Amino acid sequence: MREIVFDTETTGTNPAGGDRMVEIGCIEMVNRCETGRTFHAYFNPQRPMPSEAEAVHGLSTIFLSDKPLFGDKTDELLDFVGDAPLIAHNATFDFGFLNAELERCGRDPVCLSRMVCTLMMARARHPGAKHSLDALCSRFGVDRSQRVKHGALLDAQLLAQVYVELTGGRQIGLGLIAETTAAATAMEVIRNATQRPVRPARPHSASPDEQARHAQFVAALKDPLWNRLQTSACLSAS
């Protein structure tokens, strides 16, 4: 199954109010394994970058001034995405900006039935916990040491690993390897067992001295249960 994990960076939070997408990063996965194929692009938003947004992702008005418009990369993006499900963290946000940019280009929006939201998945799986991408990376042991600021491609790569954990863990598709390893371990145990030196059986019956000391101990007891058990055993045998 082919899926696309993606993330966007924007000038703000309201596409209907004029905020624009300035970066998108996409990771291709097949059967929840990264294929190595990616799509990444920066876009000129044709408006100044608010300082609050620049503090999040570090993309300035000057940096974006010579980048292509979204419409210049639309065909390339849609060809890469194809008809695959689209996975994002807080996906309604990313879908909102993606479809707003497509609408500006006169293109059909991406159907919301293709949307997979890892934020909703995390909330269902770990209610009451923190569900930011950083928090999920910490929970699942995903290395985010390179994430100094938000970046669409890096965040998509991190999210791809988180998505695998949310949908079953990192051993997906490795059943044959696991079985082979288990079989090899079992054979090693058998080989070690056959190579051990054979030891004579150890005696477990009480010695005459031990029996005498036990009888002396029982004789000092008042109406010991041991005598009654012995009597019952003798009657049963007769």
In tens digits, what is the pLDDT along the chain, a chain of 238 residues? 999 999 999 999 999 999 999 999 999 999 999 999 999 999 999 999 999 999 999 999 999 999 999 999 999 999 999 999 999 999 999 999 999 999 999 999 999 999 999 999 999 999 999 999 989 999 999 887 776 667 899 999 999 999 999 998 764 444 444 444 555 555 565 555 556 666 666 666 778 888 888 888 878 887 777 666 666 655 555 5
CA 158: distance to chain centroid?
A: 10
Domain for residue 237, yes or no? no
Domain for residue 63, yes or no? yes
Degrees to nearest 5, angle at CA 76 with 74 and 82: 95
Domain for residue 210, yes or no? no
Whole-angstrom distance, CA of residue 163 vs CA of residue 81: 18
- Can you give the residue range of the structural domain that contains 115? 2-166
Q: Is the dihedral of CA 121, 125, 131, 133 positive or negative?
A: negative
Asked if 168 and 55 touch (Cβ cutoff 8 Å), the reply is no
Domain for residue 139, yes or no? yes
What confidence score (pLDDT) does residue 174 get? 45
What confidence score (pLDDT) does residue 188 get? 62
Asked if 48 and 80 touch (Cβ cutoff 8 Å), the reply is no
Catalytic residues: 150
Domain for residue 14, yes or no? yes
Domain for residue 72, yes or no? yes
SS3 145: coil
CB burial of residue 47 (10 Å; 0-12, 13-18, 19+) = middle
Domain for residue 16, yes or no? yes
Domain for residue 222, yes or no? no
Q: What is the pTM (predicted TM-score) of this model?
A: 0.69
Domain total of the chain: 1
- CATH number for the domain spanning 44: value is 3.30.420.10
